[in-house]
Amino acid sequence: MPRAARTLYVCQNCGATAARWAGKCAACNEWNSLIEEESATGPPGSGLAAAKKGRVLELESLAATNAPSMRRFSSGSAELDRVTGGGIVPGSALLIGGEPGIGKSTLLLEVAARLAGRGRRALYFSGEEAAAQVRLRAERLGVAQAPLALACDSNLANILATLKAGPPPDLVIVDSIQTLWIDGLEAAPGTVAQVRAAAQALVRFAKASGSALVLVGHVTKDGQIAGPKLVEHMVDTVLYFEGDRGHPYRILRATKNRFGATDEIGVFEMAGEGLREVANASELFLPERQASAPGSAVFAGIEGTRPLLVEMQALVVPSGLGTPRRAVVGWDSNRLSMLLAVLDARAGVSFATQDVYLNVAGGLKISEPAADVAAAAALLSSIRQAALPADRVFLGEIALSGAVRAVRHTQLRLKEASKLGFKAAVLPAAAEPGAEREPLQRLGLAHVRDLFDVLPPPARLQRGRNPEEV
């Protein structure tokens, strides 16, 4: 007869359960992440035999016309509305993750206070800060007078009782899910069991009451929202607040959204008086550019539906090491290795004896393959010690064959570049032609070799460089 397991070992990294303790989680290979937790319900499946006979559900038609339409409301922040796909959906649950100090509490306090100021019922539960601290921050943000209801407690039972006491709020913010604890559970706050149970109870409340719920989640050192992935499955929308602590820019990115696209970003700037929304992001990422320096190329990118111009910087220097260094910030390092191989094999430029550094200015992370041409131009400009013309933008994907492939939204990118004063674009020859007057001069590339036609000639060669390679 199988023994009824009452104790489970739960991985604090991925949420997997095991019947026995082990040094390494079998699911995610994390070391020392298994912690003994009391299982309230027993292992899955054990309760099946005891389950009552189910009742017959009433089936609805997908095409129901009398269903109430989903009515979003604006969060009062255009950037947050953009990322969520047009505003906050009543009854939905949103999880917002990010490194400590990135600005999650600042953003949510501002949003909640602004909504409260416009007559919506907003509740803010802080398990991390005392009321005085929150009030101090509200003063800095200039929203101290807003009729926002605030409570500093981390006991889930108290929070739920408070929520159920008044009329259902429009917006509930819980900062953060890792601080909550439930009386009956024998686990520390922040453990998988606590986080899972607390999130479940709060999401259930949101669905039943029609209140929109926003949970703040901490992230682990490798950038995942701490606790089980399960919380990400429970909520409707997952947003990550990212940015580089050394830069004032903050980017809000959706990784999951049941009510909209996930490729939109919101851009903010952390200032002395809180987060400022940045409607024109390109202006934020370009101004410090040193156009006369070799190795700088402007990439005409797209984030979601929004064009974004960013500078890609490359530095190529002779290497003193047997295995030359490759370091990338803001771009995929595999993509750089691929690009270097393509430049070597298809364009005859070898980086084998060079250290290569590539950086996306402003702390932005680019994931578009369309940045290939800009990165290649920056690399070639650096190895040839010749600056690119300052009035050019670059875009296009480079295939392993060396062919330059068309990318989407060419017109949108060119319009943005023209708005910011650029005169010409180096782009795939196969790029879709514009319907109206062209905003920029087009310099088309069919193959990565064609880049040489649009680059300035190499400057005087430096000692230690191989003349054939440039």
Binding site for ligand TYD (CB under 6 A): 98, 100-106, 137, 140-141, 270, 272-274
Q: Which of Mg ion, ligand TYD, none is residue 318 near (CB under 5 to 8 Å by kind)?
A: none
Q: 467 is in the binding site of which of Mg ion, ligand TYD, none (Cβ under 5 to 8 A by kind)?
A: none
Comparison of 179 and 381: residue with beta carbon closer to ligand TYD: 179
The item of Mg ion, ligand TYD, none sharing an interface with residue 273, based on CB under 5 to 8 Å by kind, is ligand TYD
Give whichever of 103 and 428 is closer to ligand TYD, judged by the CB atom.
103
Binder of residue 137, out of Mg ion, ligand TYD, none (CB less than 5 to 8 A by kind)? ligand TYD
Which of Mg ion, ligand TYD, none sits in contact with 101, Cβ below 5 to 8 A by type?
ligand TYD
What is the contact mask toward Mg ion in residues 61 to 100, using x (rule: CB under 5 A)?
----------------------------------------
What Å distances lie between residue 383 and 58, 289, 451, CA to CA?
69, 19, 14
Q: Which residues, other chains included, contact 158 with Cβ-Cβ below 8 Å and sequence gap of 6+?
A: none
CB of 120 to ligand TYD, least distance (A): 21
Among the candidate windows 22-30, 103-111, 144-152, 191-199, which touches Mg ion by CB under 5 A? 103-111
- Closest distance to ligand TYD from the beta carbon of 366 (Å): 23
Q: Which of 17, 92, 105, 382 binds Mg ion (CB under 5 A)?
A: 105
* Closer by beta carbon to Mg ion, 105 or else 354: 105
Residues 358-417 interacting with Mg ion (rule: CB under 5 A): none
- Judged by CB under 5 A, the stretch of 101-109, 365-373, 409-417, 438-446 that binds Mg ion is 101-109
Assigned token pair, 166: 């008044």
17-46: which residues touch Mg ion (CB under 5 A)? none
To ligand TYD, the closest distance from the beta carbon of 134 in angstroms equals 10
The entry of ligand TYD, Mg ion, none that residue 147 binds, CB within 5 to 8 Å by partner kind? none
What does 2 bind: ligand TYD, Mg ion, none (CB cut-off 5 to 8 Å by kind)?
none
Nearer to Mg ion by Cβ, of 105 and 381: the residue is 105
- Residue 106 interacts with which of Mg ion, ligand TYD, none, CB < 5 to 8 Å by class: ligand TYD
Q: Give me the residue label for tokens 């932005």.
A: 364
**Of the two residues 217 and 439, which places its CB atom closer to Mg ion in the complex?**
217
**Contact stretch for Mg ion (CB under 5 A) within 6-14, 76-84, 104-112, 266-274:** 104-112
The least distance separating ligand TYD from the CB of residue 261, rounded to whole angstroms, comes to: 25
Residue number with CB closer to Mg ion (133 or 290): 133
One-letter amino acid of 131: A
- CA dist list (Å): 369 to 38, 301, 319, 402, 416: 47, 10, 27, 14, 19
Calpha distance 82→75 (Å, rounded)? 10
**C-beta of 91 vs 98, nearer to Mg ion:** 98
- Rama region for 402: left / alpha / beta (φ>0; ψ in -120 to 50; rest): left
179 contacts Mg ion (rule: CB under 5 A): no
Instruction: Please give the residue ranges that form the binding site for Mg ion (CB under 5 A).
Output: 105
